[in-house]
Amino acid sequence: MDKEHTLVSGELDKSELRYTPVEAISGTVSALRESFARGTMRDISFRKQQLRALLKGLREDKKALLDALYHDLHKSHAESLYAEYDSVEYEIGQYLDNLDKWAKPSHNPLASVQPALLLSKSEVRKEPLGVVVIIGAWNYPLRLVMLPTIGAIAAGNTVVLKPSELAPHTAQALQNMITRCMDSSVIRVVQGGVKESTELLKEKFDHYFYTGSGS
């Protein structure tokens, strides 16, 4: 595997997995931070629209994603459907069905804690964290990036997604889908290896999603 890029072949477009230029990473993170600060993700209906766009993209690119998983890991389509793809569709459906309820503030009486506050109540508001980074693993390169992405968007965060370069076909297929279907003010993809990941993690994020080894 070439260190700088990997040829994508088979059923996918015959293009290259281009690593994100290191000098562009800071700008990518800054753009998503500015988007969050503008309140882009405050509107729950917009979050749901982005989840629907993601679901549409998954369905349109289903074959490309399954082919990519085969090229990277020699997973059969049946295995990829069961272990990776179907759980992602299901997760989106759960958030679309329940997000309005989950996002509502919860109210609790205070009387059981302080009798003097018998007529008072507390309110817990579900606030987004900000800009989050999701760094994917090679062994489940679709599931282990998409599930946290769904939760992060539903919760109102903006997302920097770094798929595993060790599953280059899937990384390319994910970038193609996300770039085409998702709003760039919500999520952007960074591609690369150790150098790019190191540069990415120099940036300050409000939350980190990562599955993998310490090294």
* The residue type at 97: D
State pLDDT tens for residues 154-177: 999 999 999 999 999 999 999 999
Phi/psi of residue 18, nearest 5 degrees: -85, 125
What pLDDT shows up at residue 24? Answer: 96
Instruction: Assign 208 to helix, strand or coil.
Output: strand
What are the distances in angstroms from CA 203 to CA 73, 104, 206? Answer: 31, 31, 10
Q: Which residue carries 């569709």 as its tokens? A: 89
State pLDDT tens for residues 63-93: 999 999 999 999 999 999 999 999 999 999 9
Q: Which pair of tokens denotes residue 10?
A: 């088979």
Instruction: Put residue 83 in one of left, alpha, beta given phi > 0 → left and psi -120 to 50 → alpha.
Output: alpha
What are the distances in angstroms from CA 68 to CA 50, 101, 184? Answer: 24, 36, 23
HEC string for 34-89: HHHHCCCCCCHHHHHHHHHHHHHHHHHCHHHHHHHHHHHHCCCHHHHHHHHHHHHH
Going residue by residue through the chain, which has 215 residues, state the pLDDT in tens, using 9 for 90 and above: 343 334 444 545 555 678 999 999 999 999 999 999 999 999 999 999 999 999 999 999 999 999 999 999 999 999 999 999 999 999 999 999 999 999 999 887 665 666 777 777 778 899 999 999 999 999 999 999 999 999 999 999 999 999 999 999 999 999 999 999 999 999 999 999 999 999 999 999 999 999 877 76
Nearest-5° angle of CA 182, CA 209, CA 52? 25
Dihedral through CA 47, CA 48, CA 49, CA 55, nearest 10? 120
pTM of the model: 0.87
105, 181 in Cβ contact below 8 A?
A: no
How large is the angle between the packed helices 44-60 and 62-73, nearest 10 degrees?
A: 70
189, 141 in Cβ contact below 8 A?
A: no
Q: Which pair of tokens denotes residue 108?
A: 């609790």
**Alpha-carbon 103 to chain mean position:** 19
